[in-house]
Structure 1
Amino acid sequence: MRIRDLFGEVEATLRQGKGGGSYGSKRERLWQWASGTRGSFWKRLAFHLNRKTYKEWDRAEGGFGPALVNEFWPLLNDPAPYEAGYDLLEDEESREVYLWRLKVRLAMPFVLRWEDVYPAPPAPGVGDLSIGAEEEAFCKGFKSGQYLLRDICMPEPGDVILDLGAFLGDSAVTFSRLVGDGGHVWSFEALASQFETLRKNLARFGCDNVTPCFNAAWNRNEELHMSSNRGSSAIGGRENPVPGIRIDDFVRERGIDRVDFIKMDIEGAEQEALEGGAETIGAMKPRLALSAYHKPEDLHLLMTMVREMHPGYRFHMRHYDPGFCDTVLYAVP
C-alpha cells in the first residue's frame, strides 16, 4: 500500500463505526462536519482544518487537543514528503510500521482510543542476546530490542558509541556490555537530577567504559534550559540550565577519532542534533538509531537529512511500545 491509498482506507474504517460519533460528542461534531463537505473528504479537511481554523474551532467546542490535528494536518496538506520517506525504507516490516504511524495520525482526531482501531505492531525483541541477568532487570527496554536491530544495526565489540539521551543509564549499560572493554560509550544526559542518577547507575554496574557527559546535543554551542515531565526532559522553559553542544565540536574537542554508532532519543531535538553532527556522520559514517516519533515530520525528514550527509545510508524502522512512543529509525551506511 502507498501513502495516498491510506486516506480511503482510514475513511472506510471510520465510517464502519470504529471511530467517530460513538467515541465522544466533540469528535462526533468534527466527524459530522467533515463528512458533510463536498469533494474529497481528506482534501476538504486539509483545506479547512489548518492550524488557525482548528484552534478557533477547538476553543469554541471546549477543546480536546490541538496537538492531535497538528499531528495529521501536515500529512493531509502535503503527503509527498511522506511518500518519499516510504520509498527510502528497505524492508516490508519497516514499511508496515511507517504506514501504521500514518494511519494512527489520520484517525486520532476522530477516536478516543486509537489503540482499538490500529493496535501497535509487536516489538521485534533481541532473540537469544544477553547482557547479564542483573543488567537486563535494570534495562527495561532491552528485551523489546529498543535501539538494537539484530543482524542489521547493532553495536559491536570495540565500537565507540554516542548515547544521546541517556536518561538513567539503561541504554548506556546495554551499550557498555555490548562493546566490551575494547569499546567506549559517551553518554549525554541533559537534566541534572537524572545525570546524577546516571552516574550512580554506571558505578553500580561497573561501566568503566562509559563516560557520562552533562550536555545536550544541539546545532549550536550555547546554554539551553530543560523542562521536565514525568522523567523525560525537553528543551524549553527557564530552569535546569545545561550546556548545549554540537556533536562535531564534541568529537573534535575530545579527540575522538572514530564514531561507530549513534543513538538519539532526545525528545524532539533529533533534527538539531543531526545538524550539529553532519560533519561527523558524513566522514565517519556511524550506524544510527534515531527516535522518530517526537515530531510529525521526523518520520520522513530524519531520513532526508541523513541521506544529505552521506547518500549511501539505508533505512529500517521498528516500533517498541504498546502506545504511540518508541518508534526508532535505523540508518546503516
Structure 2
Amino acid sequence: MHPLTVYCIKALAQHCHEFSEPSWLYKTFGYHDLKNWMKILELYELLGDEVSRETLKRIIRWRIMAGILPEGRVDELFPIISSADWAELERRAEQFPAIEGDSLFDRLETWILKGYEHEQCQVETGETVFDIGAFTGNTGRYFAEKTGTKGKVYCFEPHPRFFALLQKNVRDCPQVECVQAGCAAKDGEAMLIDASTSSVLSEKGVLPVVIRSVDSFVAEHGISKVDYIKMDIEGLEPESLDGARETIRRFHPKLAVCVYHKPDHLHSLLEKIRSFGLPYSYHLKHSSRLTTETVLFAQPQYKDARHAARERERERERERAGCQGGRRRSHGCHRRTFAAKSNRCHAVSPTFRLGMLCPAHQTFSCLYRVAKDIQDVQTAIPQPERIRHDRPHFRRHTLP
C-alpha cells in the first residue's frame, strides 16, 4: 500500500470517534484530493526529496481531516506548524524592519521561512529573476539581496495602490525594475477585484489593469536570460505559465509556483510544467500554519540551458526516427517514475459513487479502494463501524 494512503488512513482511524456528519467535506480541498487520489500519489512519487514528501503528507492529511472533523479540531490535532513554533517565528520576524504596506506575516514568510526558495532551488548572485505578484516589495527586496548588483529583478504588480508602494519600497534597489502589469497567457487588459492581498483578475472586477505574457515582455525588452521565475498570483498561475511557455523552454529557469489557490493546483501545475518537456526535479515547501503558502519548486537538471536544448533536439530526432514511447515520462529527472511503481496502488473505480456515503465513511471507503490489497488495511488498522441505512441500495456501498 502506498505510504501516503497509509498515513491518511491511520489519522482517520485514530480520530474516527470525532467525525462530524455535515456535507462540509464536499466543499473542501480534501474532497478534491480524494477524487484525484492517483494524481496525488503521482505527485508524491515525483517529489525529489524526503522533506518535500513529508510536507505533502502533512498537507493532504490536513485537507482531508478538515472536512470531517469538528471546526477547529484539525488545527489542534494536525498542525502543519505548531503554535509554539509559529510564535517563535513571529518573534523573530518582529526583528526585521517593516516596509510600508507589509505585514508581520509577509516578513515571516519571505525573510524567516524563505518561502519562495528551497534548499534545492535558490536564487544565485547575478541571476535574472521574474517576481510575478510582487505586492508591496518584500519579495523584490529579498531577491535583490540574493542577486546582488550584478543581477536583475523584474517585479510585476497590477494593483495601482500596491504598485505605488512597491516602487517606494524598492527605490534603493537599482537592480529592481517595477512593471505595472499582471501576467497571463497573452497581452491585453483585464478587470481586477480589489481585495487587498487577495486581489485577483476577474470579470467581476472594478479596477482596469494591464496584463502581459512573460513571452511578449521578454521579446519586447530583448532580455537575454531568465534564471528564476516566482509566481504568486491568486490562482492565475496556469494562465501565467501558458504565457511563459517559450521563455521557460528557451532559458530553462528555476521555478517557484504557488499551488494552494485552487484545489487542483497541487497536482495540475506540476503536470503543466512537465508538459513543457524539460528535465526538472520537483520540491515542495509550506510556509503557513494553515494550508496556504504552499510553493512547488522546479529545479533544472542541467546547469546549461543550451545543454537542455540539445537534449530536446535529440529527443525530437529519436521521435522522427520512429523511437517508440515518445519522451521519457520522467523527462530526465526521476528514474523512479510513478509508472514503475504502479503496482503499489490501484485506481479508484469510476463507478464508485462518493455521494452515497456520509462524509466520514466515504473518506474511509475511498482510501480503502485505492489500496493495493484491502486485507492489508483490515488486519493493520481498526475498521470503522458499518453504515446502516434503511434503503437496500445503500448497503452495496458499505465497507466490507
Question: TM-score of the superposition, structure 2-length normalised?
Answer: 0.65
| Structure whose CA Rg is larger | 2
Residue 215 of structure 2 corresponds to residue 248 of structure 1: yes
SS of equivalent residue, structure 1 residue 231: helix
| Alignment match of 2:128 (pick from 160, 167, 188) | 160
Whether the 8 Å contact between 1:2 and 1:83 is mirrored in structure 2 is: no
Residue 79 of structure 2 corresponds to residue 119 of structure 1: yes
* Aligned-partner residue type, residue 179 of structure 1: T
Aligned in 2, Cα 1:82/1:239: closer, same or farther, shift over 3 Å? Answer: same
Whether the 8 Å contact between 1:186 and 1:213 is mirrored in structure 2 is: yes
| Alignment match of 2:264 (pick from 297, 300, 305) | 297
Cross-structure match for 2:41: 83
Q: CA deviation at 1:134?
A: 4.6
Q: CA deviation at 1:245?
A: 1.4
Aligned in 2, Cα 1:251/1:100: closer, same or farther, shift over 3 Å? Answer: same
Aligned in 2, Cα 1:108/1:133: closer, same or farther, shift over 3 Å? Answer: closer
What is the alpha-carbon distance in structure 2 between the residues aligned to residue 11 and residue 154 of structure 1?
A: 37
Cross-structure match for 1:5: 6
| Alignment match of 1:94 (pick from 40, 46, 52) | 52
| Alignment match of 1:148 (pick from 108, 117, 128) | 117
Cross-structure match for 2:187: 221
Aligned in 2, Cα 1:325/1:267: closer, same or farther, shift over 3 Å? Answer: same
Whether the 8 Å contact between 1:160 and 1:184 is mirrored in structure 2 is: yes
| Alignment match of 1:196 (pick from 155, 164, 168) | 164
Q: CA deviation at 1:143?
A: 1.1
SS of equivalent residue, structure 1 residue 4: helix
Q: CA deviation at 1:135?
A: 7.7
| Alignment match of 2:231 (pick from 264, 268, 273) | 264
Cross-structure match for 1:29: 21
Q: CA deviation at 1:282?
A: 1.3
Cross-structure match for 2:308: none
Residue 295 of structure 2 corresponds to residue 328 of structure 1: yes
Deviations along 1:167-198, one digit per CA (max 9) or x if unpaired, are: 10000001111111111000001211101111
What is the alpha-carbon distance in structure 1 between the residues aligned to residue 36 and residue 124 of structure 2?
A: 39
SS of equivalent residue, structure 1 residue 190: coil
Q: CA deviation at 1:81?
A: 1.2
Structure 2: segments with no counterpart, 5+ residues: 90-94, 301-400
What is the alpha-carbon distance in structure 2 between the residues aligned to residue 149 and residue 251 of structure 1?
A: 25
Cross-structure match for 1:179: 147
The alignment yields a C-alpha RMSD, in angstroms, of 2.6
Cross-structure match for 2:16: 15
Residue 252 of structure 2 corresponds to residue 285 of structure 1: yes
